[in-house]
Chain A
Amino acid sequence: MPDLIEPICITAYTATSALGRGLADHLAALRARRSGLQANDFTNEPLACAIGRVEGLERAALPDGHEAYECRNNRLAWLAIEADGFHEQARAAIARYGADRVALLVATSTSSIGATEEAYAQLDGERMPMALRRPEVHTPHSLGIFLSHLLGTRGPCLTTATACSSSAKIFAKAERMIRLGVVDAAILAGVDTLCGSVIFGFNSLELVAPEPCRPFDERRRGISIGEAAGFALVERKAPAAAPRLIGWGESSDAHHMSTPHPQGLGARLALEDALARAGIAAAQVDYINLHGTATPKNDEVEAGVIATAFNETTRASSSKGWTGHTLGAAGILESVISLLAIEHGLVPGTLNCEQLDPVCGPQVTLQNESRDVRIALSNSFGFGGSNCTLAFARGDCA
C-alpha cells in the first residue's frame, strides 16, 4: 500500500462544457437537472445520437499573436481559461512563484486532431491546404504549446494522453512534483473537443447511444460524446478554506484495449491506492462522481466495485447525463463537479437514469440530494485499461 501524502491545495478551478461557461452555469444546470445534451448537429455525415456541444466556439478566435495555434480544441481552452477569473489567478501564481517554478500539466485524448481532419477534407493534391500547414496543430501536444505561450510558464510542460483518464492523472503528476519540491504550483488543464474521429470511432465500436446517455439505467445503450475544458490551480500552501487533493490512485487493467476488466480489478486497485494515500476509510467518503459512461460494460463493472467497497451512507452518481462523456477532459470536469459538490453541499443525482440497473448498490443516487460533502472521490477509466481515482476534501476536513 502506498504511503500517506500531504494534501495539496486547489486554489482556483473552472470548467466550460455543454452546461455553459464557468462554475455558476454548471451549478445552476446541476441544480435544475438541465442536461446540456442535444441532437447531433456536428458531423457532416448525419449520425443519430446526442452530443454535448459548447456554444460559441466557432466565434471564439484566439487572441492576437496566437494564430498559429488556431483550432477548435485551443479555442475551447481559451474560452474556458477566461471564466471565473482563472486566467488572472494563474498569472498571479506564475508571478508569485516564478515562471520556472510552475508546472503546466495538460491533458487531452484527441488534442487538435479536428484540425488534421479538416486538412484531410480539403487536401491540395497530396498536401494540406496552406492555412492548415501548421505543425503546432497536428501534434498531441498542441494544447500544451498554446497554453505555455499564452501563460509564459517555463516549468515542466507536458501533455498526458491516456484516453479517458488523461485529465485525472495530471492531478497525480502535480502532487508528485510539488511533494518533491521541483515546482511550487501547477496549472492543470484538460480539454477535448468534438471531432469526427471520436464520434465515428466510438460509433464503429457500437458504443454510441442513439438517445441521450442513460448511466446505470438497465436500458442504457452507450455514451453520448461531449466536449469540455477544465482548469485547476494547485499549490503547496493556501488558506484553510481552499479544498484539497488528499489522495490519488492509478492502475492498469492489463486486460483489454477497450473493455474493462470483468471484475473491475484495475478500478479497485486505483480506489484502494487513493484511499491509502489519503489515509481514509471507504466509510468516510461522502460522495463519488463515477466514471458512469452508460456503456453496458463500464457501468456494470463500476457498479459492482462501488457496491462491494462502500456502505450505503456513501452517495455515488454519474454526471454524464448532463455533459456527455468528455473523454480526455472528463477527469478534470468531473473533479470540478466534485469540488462544487463539496463547496455547495450538493450531491448531483444521475440524470437520465430512470430504471436503475439492479447490479447497482444503494450508493447510486438518481435524484439530487442536499448534504454535507466533506470528502469526494472522482473515478476516471480509459481505453488501454488506464484507471485513476482522485480524492478531494473540504478545506476544513483535510
Chain B
Amino acid sequence: MSVLEIRVEGMGFWAPGWPDWNAARAGLRGEGQADPAVVKPSPTSLAAAERRRAPLPVLLACEIAAQACVASARAADALPSVFVSTHGDLVITDYMCSTLASAPRELSPIRFHNSVHNAPAGCWTIAAHCHAASTSISSWHASFAIALFEAAVQAIADDTPVLLSAYDAESPGPLAEVSPASTLFGVAMVIAPCAGSRPDLRLRLQPSSAGARLSPALPADFQALASTNPMAAQSLPLLAAIAAGAGGVIELAAGDQTTLGVELCA
C-alpha cells in the first residue's frame, strides 16, 4: 500500500488570537477576526497546580490535544498519540545551556525532566490517564508532514484512532538565530482508519516534483503566523485547504527530496 486513507474525526488549534479550530477555520476562510484577549493557552485538562508550573509547550500541546479529543468524541484515555515539534522546548534548552556554562551543579531537576522532547506527551498521558502508546518525534522542517504520515501508519496498522499534536513555541536568546520561532502555534487532529467509509484525506509520500503545486494564499494574520512559527509554516497550507472545504491536493515538504501529497476528498 502506498496510499494511506484516513478520516479526520476532530481538530484542535491554538495560536495567539485564535483559541480553537472553529475560530481558526473562520479566520482561514476570511470570515473571522483574531481575538486580542487570547494570549496564552490554559488547558483545563491539566490540574491547576500543573497548569501554573508547566512550560508553555506543554500547555500548548495539551490544550490542542484536549480540543481534538472533544471534537472527535473519543475518550482521551484510550487514544495512542504522536506529538511532534520542530524544535522542542527551546526556552528550557536556553536555560540548560546557560546554566551549564555558569553553574552546572545548580541545574533545576524539574526543568531537567521537562527538557525531554516527550515532556508534553508525558504530561498529556498523565492528565488523560492514558496508558496507550505515545511517541514524540521531530523531522525538522518536515515535522508536520512526517508526523501526519506516522500517525496515519499507526492508525491503519493498529486499526485505532490516533491523536496527533503538532506545536512549536518561542525561541529565546542565542537560539533565535539558528532555530527561529517567535510565536506559539499548535494544531491537533484525531485521525482514524476509514474502515470502509469514505476517507477525508489520502496521503501519499512521493519524490518531490520539479513543478510542485503552489500553496494556497493565506489571510494576512495566518501568513504572519507562518512566517514566525515553523509548525505554522508547515501545516497552514493544509489547514487552509481543510477550512475551505474544497477538494484538491496539497503538497507538504516531507524531506529534502520528498513530499507528502495530501488529497482532500471533497
The 3 closest A-B pairs by CB, nearest first: A384-B122, A250-B133, A161-B117
5 pairs across A/B with beta carbons < 8 Å? A157-B139, A159-B139, A253-B125, A383-B113, A383-B119
A385 engages B257 (CB within 8 Å): no
> Of all chain B residues, which has the CB nearest A207?
B109
A117 engages B87 (CB within 8 Å): no
**15 extra interface residue pairs, beta carbon distance < 8 Å, beyond A148-B255, A156-B149, A255-B126:** A119-B97, A140-B88, A140-B117, A158-B138, A180-B153, A181-B2, A197-B100, A197-B112, A201-B113, A204-B107, A252-B131, A252-B134, A258-B113, A384-B121, A385-B122
Question: A126 and B258 in contact (CB under 8 A), knowing A162-B118, A173-B150?
Answer: no
Write out, one digit per residue, whether chain B residues 86-129 have a CB within 8 A of any chain A CB (1) or not (0): 11100001001110110011011100111111110111011011
A68–B157 Cα distance when bound, in Å, is 37
B118 engages A120 (CB within 8 Å): no
Q: From DSSP, what is the main secondary structure of chain A's interface residues?
A: mixed
Q: Could you tell me how many residues of chain B have their Cβ less than 8 Å away from some Cβ of chain A?
A: 70
B1 engages A182 (CB within 8 Å): yes
Q: Does B254 sit within 8 A of A, measured CB to CB?
A: yes
B205 engages A384 (CB within 8 Å): no
- Chain A residues contacting B1 (CB-CB under 8 Å) are 180-182
User: Interface of A with B (CB < 8 Å)?
Assistant: 2, 43, 45, 47, 100, 109, 113, 116-117, 119-121, 123, 126-128, 133-135, 138-141, 144-145, 148-149, 154-163, 169, 172-173, 176-177, 179-182, 196-197, 200-206, 250-258, 265-266, 269, 382-386
Smallest CB separation, B86 vs chain A (Å): 7
Which listed residue (A126, A139, A156, A256) contacts B146, Cβ 8 A?
A156
Write out, one digit per residue, whether chain B residues 166-177 have a CB within 8 A of any chain A CB (1) or not (0): 000000011101
Smallest CB separation, A167 vs chain B (Å): 12
Smallest CB separation, A320 vs chain B (Å): 19
B179 engages A182 (CB within 8 Å): no
> Of all chain B residues, which has the CB nearest A268?
B131
Question: A138 and B113 in contact (CB under 8 A), knowing A2-B158, A257-B123?
Answer: no
Which listed residue (B147, B178, B255) contacts A133, Cβ 8 A?
B178
A157–B265 Cα distance when bound, in Å, is 26
A140 engages B87 (CB within 8 Å): yes
B153 engages A177 (CB within 8 Å): yes
A254 engages B131 (CB within 8 Å): yes
Q: Does B132 sit within 8 A of A, measured CB to CB?
A: yes
Which listed residue (A117, A135, A163, A383) contacts B179, Cβ 8 A?
A135
Smallest CB separation, A66 vs chain B (Å): 14
A173–B114 Cα distance when bound, in Å, is 25
Which residue, B86, B112, B116, B149, has most C-beta atoms of chain A within 10 A?
B116
Q: Does B249 sit within 8 A of A, measured CB to CB?
A: no
A285–B104 Cα distance when bound, in Å, is 44
Q: Does B228 sit within 8 A of A, measured CB to CB?
A: no
B112 engages A205 (CB within 8 Å): yes
A181–B2 Cα distance when bound, in Å, is 7
- Chain B residues contacting A121 (CB-CB under 8 Å) are 100-101
- Chain A residues contacting B121 (CB-CB under 8 Å) are 162, 252, 384, 386
